[in-house]
Amino acid sequence: VKPSATFRKKELQALIEHEIGVHMVTTMNSSEQNLKVFNLGLPINTLTQEGLAILAEYLSGNLTLSRLRKLALRVIAVDMMCSGADFVECFNQLKNKYDVEPNLAFNITTRIYRGGGFTKDYLYLSGFVKVLRFWENQNDLKPLLIGKTSIDFYNVIDEMIGREMVSPPKYVTRSFEETQTDKVNPIYDYILSGLK
What pLDDT shows up at residue 185? 73
What pLDDT shows up at residue 179? 62
CA–CA distances in Å: residue 51 to residues 11, 39, 100 = 17, 18, 24
25-77 pLDDT tens trace: 999 999 999 999 999 999 999 999 999 999 999 999 899 999 999 999 999 99
What pLDDT shows up at residue 186? 81
Minimal CA–CA distance to 146: which of 16, 34, 13? 34
131-164 pLDDT tens trace: 999 998 989 999 999 999 999 999 999 999 999 9
What pLDDT shows up at residue 94? 99
What pLDDT shows up at residue 82? 97
74-110 pLDDT tens trace: 999 999 999 999 999 999 999 999 999 999 999 999 9
- Nearest-angstrom CA–CA distance, 152 and 90: 33
155-190 pLDDT tens trace: 999 999 999 999 999 999 999 987 655 556 788 888
Q: What is the DSSP string of 119-184?
A: -THHHHHHHHHHHHHHHHTT---GGGGTTT--GGGHHHHHHHHHTTSSPPPSS--HHHHS--GGGS
110-130 pLDDT tens trace: 999 998 888 999 999 999 999
